[in-house]
Structure 1
Amino acid sequence: MGEGFIFVANSSTIERQKNPGEPRPSRQKSDDDWVARILEIRASDEHHVYARVYWMYWPDELPAGTLEGKKYIQGRQPYHGQNELIASNHMDVINVVSVTAQATVNQWDETNEDEVQQALYWRQAFDVRNMELSSAQPRCKCNRPENPDKQLINCTNSECRKWLHDDCLIHEALMKTYARLGTDKPHKPTRVKAEEPEGGQRPLSPSESGAAQTAQQSIDVKPEDQKTIKLSDVEVAGPSANSESQTLTVATGTETKRKGRPRKSEVSEVVNTKPYEGLFTAVINDTSTPVVEIQDLRESVTGGEKSWTEPLRCLLCNADIH
């Protein structure tokens, strides 16, 4: 068995083996098994074979006090996908009898916008020495990373072409609806004016100012200097191992600061400020020309339409998305 990724048994695996009648989890993803990257294999004889590994963390295993950029986090974040792992430099020596199967784990290159994550994958690295988690590629106006399990919409303006979160687009549409109608004004459709004759005034096209280019970052985890290690009677170890664990260096990218005025309120608005809740809801109707379909939930308001569509506009350049 050469260098690669493996599933490693733990107490949950043993319990599962005691109940063979229960359905086995998919080998594409198993929350019960640990996942590790093999660095090298050594044997004193055919009965004593050991592997030196780096542990791959599930996002849920990120400990309290993990530093991501300038904030402290713990556990799974909203952008982490179901099949996502986090590379680490948490090293252990394990007995190969604890290996249950080979695992397929891909490194996700976030600059490749056409790449689809079907197997297990990783894009971030966790340094156990200083509790730092490398940054993921920011997207949209809110600068939050992409969750590959959720849809993104690409701005069709050739000078922008930024990827936008569904929930950010919906939030913006509902905020505009609330600002226009509040709690008591009915929605009345805008009458379509007849086309102006030649020489008449025409509406101006929206401003299409380009968005700032977002710095990109790649992450790679490689074993450092390979050293011959003295193998002791180490049987089974895991991500929660104690002081017997060793650590090696992990190569991580550094977070790139965005230039310009800080935008402290953008994320908090998306997360916390939702005055439209209970009054309006919206979904994106992803047809040939995507639109936002808005529903009016206000029972006390009469005299207007209760459902209508609005154009889908880019949050960065304000161009209509086609």
Structure 2
Amino acid sequence: MSTLINSTNIFWQECPVGKVERQKLLNQKGCVLWITGLSGSGKSTLACSVSRELHSRGKLSYVLDGDNLRHGLNKDLGFKQEDRTENIRRVGEVAKLFADAGLICIASLISPYRKDRDACRAMLPDENFIEARFLVMVFMNMPLALCEARDTKGLYKLARAGKIKGFTGIDDPYEPPLNCEIEIQNKDGICPAPGEMAKQVVSYLEEKGFLLDHGGLGRVLGCVKHAFPISERNNKRRGLGETQARGIEMVLNSPLVAWVANVSADLCQYIACNPERVSSDGVLHLLFCVPFQHLHRLALTFCFPSLSYDHEDNHDSNSHSD
């Protein structure tokens, strides 16, 4: 811990490009998703699953994993209470910067002490900090049995043998949140599947408006995937091999399609705000007279220039039932 006296002759430097402008650029609202729970409760697994789900939707996130941070930023800290407090404070400050940059920051740490988590929450406006706690009912009911069973790092075994001191859940307490936005519980002693947990979290972000949709991004993405449904039946009908079909599916679920849709949505928003700068027989005709359904051609032609398919195939009433 630093013993230097805090500086007093410092001032905050404002920047002309603020958080609102950065959020518009990214088409999302910056926030902190704080995942807390015992070792082995599934924090890192969920953090990575949420990041992947957001990425597939064209949303930018970054995971701050507790173990990873101790390789660099917090490598000088141990596991005494004062070190744990400083560990959480540093991560909170970094997470705050990520959120201010417009990113969805996913912090995954045991963070056992309630006061430290509350201090991080106080760094941000209430609506920008989301605390997701894991396996709370396990902690109250049978936390050690479940977490020790999933102890891939062997830490519980070392703690039981007395080789690790101050281990959370063994000889150091974990204080569950009193009020959290999201609670993920075990079901009959089994942790939910990563994808299931991720969808629960992302759905919350969507409901609360963190995944913005300026001018119809979601609508465009929906049209793209509707216009080129992926299924084994449709792939055979188009004469696509397994490798090529898998490649197309990757494109439709990749940031490329999100980017194409985002460009269209941003252009629509720009035109709505600046109609005097747009020629009525130029861009307006392109955007509003050409159906959104044709946008997928741009993405697919860009990645697979030799690909062609029967457009009528895509409107087969059975194409979504395969």
Q: Which has the higher contact order (CA 8 A, sep 6+)?
A: 2
Larger-Rg structure = 1
Higher strand share: 1
Same topology, TM > 0.5:
no
Give the TM-score normalised by the residue count of structure 2: 0.25
